Amino acid sequence: MVHDLNKKNSVFSQFMVEIRDEIIQRDRMRFRRNLERVAEIMAYELSQTLKFEAKNVTTQLGEFQGNVLKDQPILATILRAGLPMHQGLLNYFDQADSALVSAYRKHTNEEEYDINVEYCAAPDIQDKVLIISDPMLATGNSMFSVYKALLKYGTPKQIHIVSAIATQEAIDFIQLKFPANTSIWTGGIDAELTAQSYIVPGLGDAGDLAFGIKI
């Protein structure tokens, strides 16, 4: 199932415009915070699909019964670009365990590359709800490589992919390669993917915009 949160107007739409705006992007702190806010809204929307259970609490004046998450999800992200969105998810799922995976494109030429996964630290994800965040879902290859790396820690019962911007090509790839119990949450589906696998109009390199240009 694909959830495109930009299909209806809300303050979320403004955040999505701002993360794409090359002038606003020059404020690195604001760019990171906007990615964080995008993920916070996605966390709220996604939470409505999770299971809750009743809980009784004692207030200073009496008893109250409300609903709380039955189980905390596992939050995974791809270093380094995924960190702001990971923080946004943590702001809402504040008791969740985290998984951190280092994955990057290693180019063999201008258009061809392999996905290298060099570091993976994760808790037990067996039969857990797994949420994987990454700002850009261009081809889906990095996301799939990260998912495969996480499988050595168990098989999740449900998977949610959270991405600020995706392409239809990546969505088709995810739907082909991932289990049927996978949902995609995005802030927009862009039409074009270049020969170098960059999203157009996209927003640029999210990692560089958030943390500085790498060498």
CA distance 205 to 129: 29
Composition of the chain by helix, strand, coil, percent to 5: 35, 35, 35
Residue 1, both tokens: 């199932």
Alpha carbon separation from 50 to 36, 67, 128 (Å, rounded): 21, 12, 11
CA distance 30 to 53: 36
Per residue in 163-195, pLDDT (tens digit) is 999 999 999 999 999 999 999 999 999 989 887
CA distance 68 to 73: 13
CA 93 distance to own-chain centroid: 13
Question: What's the mean per-residue pLDDT of the chain?
Answer: 94
pLDDT of residue 113: 66
For 2, counting Cβ atoms within 10 Å of its Cβ (0-12 exposed, 13-18 middle, 19+ buried), the class is middle
Q: What's the predicted TM-score (pTM) here?
A: 0.92
Structural contact between residues 31 and 212, judged by C-beta atoms closer than 8 angstroms: no
Taken in order of first residue, the domains within the chain and their CATH numbers are 2-211 (3.40.50.2020)
Residue 159, both tokens: 């998977």
pLDDT of residue 195: 77
Return all residues near 66 (Cβ < 8 A) that are at least 6 apart: 54, 55, 57
Per residue in 83-134, pLDDT (tens digit) is 999 999 999 999 999 999 997 766 566 666 677 888 899 999 999 999 999 9
